[in-house]
Amino acid sequence: MVATEQYIFGYGSLTSFGIGLSARLEDHRRVWGVAMDNRMTIRGYKYYRLPADGTRPAVFVAFLDMVAEPRTHTDGVLLSVDDATLRSVDRRERNYDRFDVTASVSDAPGRIWAYRGTQDGRERLRLGRTRGTAVVDRTYRDSVLLGFAEHGIGDDLDTGGLPLIDLERVDLSSP
């Protein structure tokens, strides 16, 4: 049995995960679409604090997502993965579901996966927007822009009205 090449279509923070092939995903648009509730402590995950005083703000931290939208496209990077790496990325992308986008990428070199926001992740952002407490972490945005620059992706990542603030990420150990 011959193994099929597998790729992840990185359109946000995954663009900075190594060398990949430039690609365009048709009929999908990049948006600030999911969030985490920074008030929650989840072992094995993360939270954010303010660098100025170390306090943990009661905000919803937004992350990039993609939505299906005809006649649009999203530029990104195809990252070659094996099954073990794919399982690892699945765990990392806890606010997202993996789905097959092979048919939406011209000249796909193999099976292509992408991640889209879970219903819960999208609901957290909706709640944060409604309460006026949804924000974008400047470090996250800047690291995505760096990944874009390395791969020639031209998107300025307009935050869509969400405040851009300086946060410090704190990773929590797993149980």
Q: What is the CATH number of the domain that holds 132?
A: 3.10.490.10
Enclosing domain of residue 139: 6-171
Residue 2, pLDDT score: 47
Q: Is residue 117 part of a domain?
A: yes
Is residue 112 domain-resident? yes
The DSSP secondary-structure symbol of 4 reads P
Residues of the chain with pLDDT under 70: 1-3, 175
CB neighbourhood size of 113 (10 A): 19
Q: How far is CA 11 from CA 15, 36, 64, 70, 123, in A?
A: 6, 19, 8, 17, 21
In a domain, residue 14? The reply is yes
> What is the model's pLDDT at position 103?
97
Instruction: Please name every residue paired with 35 in a beta bridge, in sequence order, or none if there are none.
Output: 62
Domain assignment present for 143: yes
Angle at 112 between CA 111 and CA 114, to 5 degrees: 150
What is the predicted pLDDT for the residue at 140? 96
- Locate tokens 């070659």: which residue? 80
Say how many domains are in the chain.
Answer: 1
Q: What is the dihedral of CA 23, 28, 33, 36, to 10 degrees?
A: -50
In a domain, 1, yes or no: no
pTM of this structure: 0.92
Residue 87, SS3? helix
